[in-house]
Amino acid sequence: MTRSLLEMQRTRTPVEIPSILENLSVVTFLKEKELPCDPKVRSLFSHSTSLHLLQAQKGEEKALIPLRIGVLFSGGPAPGGHNVIAGLFDALQQSTPEGALFGFFRGPEGLLQEKYCPISAQSVDAIRNTGGFTLLGSSRTKIETHAQMQLAMNTCNKLRLDGLVVIGGDDSNTNAAMLGKFFLDKNCPTCIVGVPKTIDGDLTHAHLPLSFGFDTACRVYAEMIGNLCMDAASTCTYTHFVKLMGRSASHIALECALTTHPNYTLIAEEIALKKQTLRNIVNDIADLVMQRSALHKNYGVILIPEGLIEFIPEISLLIKEINGLLGQGEPTSSFEIIAKLSSSSRKCLESLPESVQKQLFLRRDPHGNVQVSLIETEKLLAELVSQELDRRKEQGTFSGTFHYRTHFFGYEGRSSFPSLFDSTYCYALGMGAYTLIKENLTNHLVAIDSLALPIYEWSVQALPLLSLLHMEEREGQQKAVIRKTLVDCSKKAFLHFARDRDSWRLEDDYQSPGPMQFPEYFDPFFFLPQSYLNEHVRNF
């Protein structure tokens, strides 16, 4: 791969670090407080595992010993991953030149199959501040079974690793927690350290304000949404229905709404809370189109979170029923399934456009479930709104025009150039991960806090993975997994949005943030995601 001009510039740009990471030989961790934990989760783990939040502090200078560390990417890419490796590498180099960093290819797969490479200064210099996980690749392979954990341990033992850094989301860090427990049980000396990665923004905690990649992905989508807003206001012709990646949670839709001010944004968690039906949503949007049309605005921009469909009560029930019927042995014909549905689910299915009915029946994942993410919710809503407006036209209550275009923004935001925030944040996470291993801390996630302060004042913490776990039903069994953080409609990040959104419906307060810039000096206020500023900085 050859590097573009901007990549070459970015690879040469140094990254600012928190002052606590300036001299690694004095970093020590102090117990901050004990965190709460579900007793069922607690009972799964040996009681030797601490539940204390640990804070990095400057202590006495200690001689640093050469460490051997392994690192891997797990799951979908998120911008900034390369800088975690750069931070880790630089910390290792700064402490003792005899240390070694090994990268596992294609995530956990490389760990299981002993596919890795030593990471050199040259390879790190080529990836600083660049997007993607191209240095090592990634995969969704999981380390779950006893045999897999044994293989992973064998690799760590063979390489004599002092630490293994897992860069991953909620599922990957759940796996990391289990692997860490296995290592402790087997007296394997390799520390497991998690790094919070996910563009979806759903891996957070009271002491983990943000996962990396969220800021950048939102900026990439917001650039495109801002452009669509400008296009809508220029041609005055189209209503753009924009679906945004983000799995179940609507954090991305919320953040993009805060930065671009579209006319309407669906927040799935709010819809579930208010028990809104698909009919309610369609009518709401049709009302909006009519109100705008009365102002001669036959255009608009509407944001839709990818996970929406699971949060609409009647569709969520329908999907559950179909999955249940599909799961019962042999593949069943769609007629048979229809016959076995409850009458309310049959009615719900009937109300959906044919193309969506097909998607519900045809596309199943390896476990036989409907693949919710492949359902084109943006087209579903646009078509239903169009039908509703046709009905109103016939009734004589609507006389405007309604042309729509649909979009889905997702993959283009996962491997983008990391934003200034994610570049800085990830580099600090990488260095922070080193300090955890140096202090022999295992089963912790490295967390950076106080992000609204100047970078040199950011704090580095070790957050016990245990404190993130809760019990949840997965494939019919109760399992300890990391809880996905959904949008909380009682929190300030949402409340700011809820206060402002009404004025965006009719007035076109569109904002076009434009392409991400990498200036030497920047406005710290625009350095962080807007939902973070709402939650932690702004008064309400």
Which positions touch its own copies (CB under 8 A)? 1-7, 10, 73, 76-77, 106, 130-134, 137-139, 220, 223-224, 226-228, 230-231, 233-238, 240, 261, 355, 405, 407-408, 411-417, 508-518, 523, 526
Comparing CB distances to its own copies, the nearer of 5 and 63 is 5
- For residues 488-526, one letter each, b for 16 or more C-beta atoms within 10 angstroms of the residue's C-beta and e for the rest, the string is ebeebbbebbeeebeebbeebebbbbeebeeeeeeeeee
Comparing CB distances to its own copies, the nearer of 57 and 511 is 511
Q: Could you give the CA distance from residue 468 to residue 322 in angstroms, rounded to a whole number?
A: 32
Tokens (6 digits) for 339:
């016959």
Sheet holding 100-104, edge to edge: 27-34, 52-58, 459-464, 444-449, 191-196, 163-168, 68-73, 100-104, 116-118
Q: Could you give the CA distance from residue 531 to residue 508 in angstroms, rounded to a whole number?
A: 21
Tokens (6 digits) for 185:
């049980």
- The distance of closest approach from Cβ of residue 518 to its own copies in the complex, given in angstroms and rounded to an integer, is 7
- The distance of closest approach from Cβ of residue 422 to its own copies in the complex, given in angstroms and rounded to an integer, is 13
CB atoms within 10 A of CB 296: 9
Comparing CB distances to its own copies, the nearer of 1 and 63 is 1
Comparing CB distances to its own copies, the nearer of 202 and 508 is 508
Within 8 A by CB and 6+ apart from 414, the residues are: 76, 77, 78, 79, 199, 213, 217, 245
Tokens (6 digits) for 1:
């791969």
Give the strand pairing for 238-244 and 403-409. Answer: parallel
Comparing CB distances to its own copies, the nearer of 29 and 408 is 408
- The distance of closest approach from Cβ of residue 509 to its own copies in the complex, given in angstroms and rounded to an integer, is 6
CB atoms within 10 A of CB 403: 12
- Which entry of 200, 215, 422, 449 is annotated as an active-site residue? 200
Comparing CB distances to its own copies, the nearer of 18 and 132 is 132
- The distance of closest approach from Cβ of residue 221 to its own copies in the complex, given in angstroms and rounded to an integer, is 10
Instruction: Please write down the HEC assignment for all residues of 334-366.
Output: HHHHHHHCCHHHHHHHHCCCHHHHHHHHHCECC
Q: Which long-range contacts (CB under 8 A, 24 or more apart) does 362-366 make?
A: 364/326
Q: At what angle do helices 420-438 and 81-95 cross, to 10 degrees?
A: 40
Q: What are the DSSP calls for 22-45, one per residue?
A: S-GGGEEEEEEEEPP--HHHHHHS
> Are 363 and 371 in contact, with CB atoms under 8 Å apart?
yes
User: Positive or negative, the Cα torsion across 271, 276, 281, 283?
Assistant: negative
Known catalytic residue at 200:
yes
Tokens (6 digits) for 466:
């245990």
> Are 302 and 240 in contact, with CB atoms under 8 Å apart?
yes
- The distance of closest approach from Cβ of residue 403 to its own copies in the complex, given in angstroms and rounded to an integer, is 11
Comparing CB distances to its own copies, the nearer of 170 and 449 is 170
Provide the strand spans (E) within 207-361. Answer: 238-244, 264-265, 300-305
- The distance of closest approach from Cβ of residue 416 to its own copies in the complex, given in angstroms and rounded to an integer, is 5
- The distance of closest approach from Cβ of residue 407 to its own copies in the complex, given in angstroms and rounded to an integer, is 7
Comparing CB distances to its own copies, the nearer of 461 and 531 is 531
Q: Which residues are catalytic?
A: 200
